[in-house]
Structure 1
Amino acid sequence: MSAPCQGPTMAQDQPCRSRTRSQRTGDAAERLVADRLEAAGWTILGRNLRLSREELDLVAVDPGPPGALVLIEVRSRGTREFGLPEETFDHRKRRHLWTAAMRLLEVGQLPGGMAVPRLPIRVDLVVVEPPARPGSQPRIRHHRDALAI
């Protein structure tokens, strides 16, 4: 049986209920990506932010020149059996991310009242694949400016 949802990765307005294996895989991938980005000097401003009907997996500040407010979509697969995680990043998901980005700029603040930083904005796609063999690390690919892909 699935463990109940808990922790900071849940969307703020999402009711607590059992998580599917696919959702738990996605939650773990989002935590892994956030940890890796923070270790690289990024600042995570929010996780699983709901903006109207859209959701942003991560909102972060990329410190590298020129610096940017980055909306991050995390995609993962438990296995390669059904293809690469990038293959799930279709036109519909891109449109949802564009809508979420525009909504975030329109609102001007993150949940909790923090103002949206005045930085260039971009959308990145980060994919997480399971380890190639037991004991190895998951593979992570970071596609910057994913709406331009």
Structure 2
Amino acid sequence: MQRFGKKGEDLAVAFLERTGYRVLHRNFRHKKSEIDIICSKDGLLIFVEVKSRSSKAFGQPETFVSKSQEQSILKAAEAFILVEDWHGDIRFDIIAIYKNGKMEEMEHFEDAFY
């Protein structure tokens, strides 16, 4: 993982923990699929994709989750659900991070897909 992406994930984890989420797993892998962060809050199991960008010039980070990436995340989530024997509700979120020098912005999109 690139350092910039890892830093974005670290910022996202800190944000989630600060806002009452319990981080259960980072960089969960299943075959060729990966989920950046798996957490829980209010009885939900939440799968989080983190998108970090240094500029908004090429669009918003949340728009960089393609349909094929959504499918990949879904497959990994299904594997995690089976392993953990989870029977509750789930949600898929995106955390978009813009970091350019000292400027830093973060947006949390709940129920971003599926």
By the TM > 0.5 criterion, same fold? yes
Runs of 5+ consecutive residues of structure 1 not aligned to the other structure: 1-18, 109-115
Select the structure with the greater relative contact order (CA < 8 A; seq sep ≥ 6). Answer: 2
Structure 1 runs (4+) deviating above 6 angstroms are none
Runs of 5+ consecutive residues of structure 2 not aligned to the other structure: none
Deviation at 1:81, TM superposition (A): 2.9
TM-score normalised by L of structure 1? 0.69
Distance in 2 between residues matched to 1:50 and 1:104, nearest whole Å = 9
Q: Call closer, same or farther: CA 1:118–1:83 in 2, change over 3 Å.
A: same
User: How many residues are matched?
Assistant: 114
The structure richer in helix per residue is 2
Residue 43 in 1 paired to residue 11 in 2?
A: no
Distance in 2 between residues matched to 1:122 and 1:135, nearest whole Å = 31
Letter in 2 for 1:55: E
Distance in 1 between residues matched to 2:83 and 2:87, nearest whole Å = 13
Give the root-mean-square deviation of aligned CA atoms: 1.8
User: In structure 1, what is the equivalent of residue 34 of structure 2?
Assistant: 55
Correspondence 1:1-149 to 2 at 5 A:
23-63=2-42, 67-108=43-84, 118-131=87-100, 135-136=102-103, 138-148=104-114
Q: For the pair shown, which has the larger CA radius of gyration, 1 or 2?
A: 1
Deviation at 1:62, TM superposition (A): 1.6
